[in-house]
Amino acid sequence: MSFSVAELYTCLLDAFGHQDWWPMDRSYHIAEGTDPREEVIIGALLTQNTAWVNVEKALSNLKAAHALSLKAIRALSEDQLRLLIQPSGFFNQKAQRLRLVAEVLDNQLDKFFQQNHSAARAKLLALNGIGPETADSILLYAGNLPCFVVDAYTKRLCARLPLPVTNDSYQAIQEYFEEEVSRHFPGKQIQVYKELHALIVECAKNCCRPTPLCMECPLRGGCQQALQFLPQRLRRDVRQRNQLR
On whether both 64 and 106 belong to a single domain, the answer is yes
On whether both 163 and 239 belong to a single domain, the answer is yes
Would you place residue 142 in the very low, low, confident or very high pLDDT band (cuts 50, 70, 90)?
Answer: very high
Would you place residue 138 in the very low, low, confident or very high pLDDT band (cuts 50, 70, 90)?
Answer: very high
Of 90, 100, 24, 93, nearest to 62 by C-alpha is 24
On whether both 104 and 60 belong to a single domain, the answer is yes
pTM: 0.91
Among 142, 168, 196, the domain-final residue is: 142
Would you place residue 245 in the very low, low, confident or very high pLDDT band (cuts 50, 70, 90)?
Answer: very low
DSSP string, 172-228: HHHHHHHHHHHHHSTT-HHHHHHHHHHHHHHHHHHTS-SS--GGG-TTGGG-HHHHH
Is residue 237 predicted with pLDDT exceeding 60?
A: no
Among 108, 142, 176, the domain-final residue is: 142
On whether both 138 and 38 belong to a single domain, the answer is yes
On whether both 160 and 138 belong to a single domain, the answer is no
On whether both 128 and 219 belong to a single domain, the answer is no
Q: How many CB atoms lie within 10 A of CB 159?
A: 13
Would you place residue 1 in the very low, low, confident or very high pLDDT band (cuts 50, 70, 90)?
Answer: low
What was the pLDDT predicted at 227? 78
Give the separation between CA 106 and CA 96, rounded to whole angstroms: 15
Give the separation between CA 28 and CA 131, rounded to whole angstroms: 29
Give the separation between CA 94 and CA 225, rounded to whole angstroms: 36
What was the pLDDT predicted at 236? 53
Determine, yes or no, domain membership for 123: yes
Q: Pick the residue with more confidence: 110 or 244?
A: 110
Among 115, 142, 169, the domain-final residue is: 142
Sign of the CA dihedral with 228 first, then 232, 238, and 244 last: positive
Determine, yes or no, domain membership for 236: yes
- 8 A C-beta contact, residue 135 and residue 124: yes
Q: What is the average pLDDT across 173-190?
A: 97
Q: Pick the residue with more confidence: 245 or 26?
A: 26
Domain of residue 63 covers 34-142
